[in-house]
Amino acid sequence: MMLFDLNLRNQVWLRVKYRTLGRTGLSVSLVSLGSGGPSQLGQNTGVPEPEIHKLLYTALDLGMNLIDTAAGYGKSEEILGRALKTIDRNRYYIATKTRPVKENRILSASELVHQVETSLKRLQLDTIDIFQFHGVKRNEYDGVQEKLVPTAQKLKSQGKIRFIGITEMYFQDGDHQVLQRAVKDDLFDTVMVGYNLLNQTAEKTVFPLCDTNQVGVLVMIAVRKALSRIKVLEQTVANLKEKGVIPKEALPDKNPLGWLVKDGLDSVTAAAYKFVAAHNAVSTVITGTSNLSHLKSNVDAILGPPLPVEDVTRLNDIFGNISESLGN
């Protein structure tokens, strides 16, 4: 891991961590910005576009250099295009994606090319740094690999995309079967995996393969709703107790992870971001916030000291064998 000091526009010096994104060789900030999920760059949370531009510029000023988006995230690509058109292209990497399926069939090569060109237009860019197949389901993987990866490789040779990635449909594939196949097949430069303290399976099933094959790891769903809204967490833990997945005495019913909040750590959400950022296999943790003060506290959490070892051990003991797609 490298540590850089960045001289910011407002002359504040901050320490930002960067990690190498697998075989891409890109040096990416350990914390990156997502434009989908529940907030979708403010489109679902009512944050007006000028405020989102401010959020993006703050992210860049904090040293974040990777932004994840998708053709399917409402107007996220267009918003990013408008916000970033005045920004030096060397200051950020864009990862975008497209679903490989339309009307229950795999896209044709020409539809994929059209999709990439549409994303480039919306983003107002000449090149996409990381083009990802979005939310690939188990029954879609063969089609992606056989029909679409060769087209993506052609787009790469034409310079329209720089690297090829794949993301999973986490809420249907909690043990990451698609990504395990994808990394073994060695066709992708990056994977985007659902990894959080409630579902730690990627540590055993995906990270070691990525390490062997030098595939970059982008983490999504680090907190989502279950680790950012107390009622959702209480319900999630109640369901796990009800099903006998965790013992009833393992955690309190009210505020079940409140014991993580201590010694200057001010929220379960901050603890949850710390948990995922601490794993060496993780190249970058995507925070899907649309709220400026959340962005700053998430960056502080991810760049600050890790959770105490005894707390991590307790989280491993309670949740370490769960492969349900928890988080929503």
| Partners of 18 in beta bridges | 2, 29
Which 114-143 positions form the footprint of ligand NAP (CB under 6 A)? 134-135
Compare residues 120 and 270 and give the one whose CB is closer to ligand NAP: 270
Amino acid at 263: D
Minimum distance from residue 287 beta carbon to ligand NAP (Å): 4
Which token pair is 75?
């107007």
Question: Which residues is 287 bridged to in the sheet?
Answer: 33
Q: Which is nearer to ligand NAP, 33 or 155 (CB)?
A: 33
Nearer to ligand NAP, 48 or 244 (CB): 48
Q: Which residue has the tokens 């107002």?
A: 124
- According to CB under 6 A, which one of 236, 284, 297, 325 is a site residue for ligand NAP? 297
Complex with ligand NAP: residue 291 or 323, whichever CB lies closer: 291
CA distances from 20 to 109, 273, 297 (A): 31, 19, 24
Q: Which of 39, 65, 96, 119 binds ligand NAP (CB under 6 A)?
A: 39
CA nearest neighbour of 326 among 207, 190, 192, 225 = 225
- From 130, 246, 286, 299, residue interacting with ligand NAP (rule: CB under 6 A): 286
Rounded least distance, CB 173 to ligand NAP, Å: 10
| Strands, E assignment, the chain | 2-7, 13-20, 27-29, 31-34, 66-68, 93-98, 101-102, 105-106, 128-136, 161-168, 190-194, 216-220, 284-287
- Where does 99-152 show beta strands of DSSP type E? 101-102, 105-106, 128-136
Nearest Cα neighbor of 227 from 202, 182, 195, 252 is 195
101 is a site residue for ligand NAP (CB under 6 A): no
- Residue 68 in contact with ligand NAP, rule: CB under 6 A: yes
Q: Is 205 helix (H, G, I), strand (E, B) or coil?
A: helix
Q: Does 287 bind ligand NAP (CB under 6 A)?
A: yes
Question: What is the total residue count of the chain?
Answer: 328
Q: How far is the CB of 247 from ligand NAP (least distance, A)?
A: 27
Q: Please identify, using beta-carbon distances, which residue of 68 and 77 lies nearer to ligand NAP.
A: 68
Binding characters for ligand NAP, 217-236, by CB under 6 A (x = yes): ---xxxxx---x--------
Least Å from the CB of residue 244 to ligand NAP = 27
Residues that bind ligand NAP (CB under 6 A): 34-39, 45, 68, 134-135, 167, 192, 220-224, 228, 269, 286-291, 294, 297-298
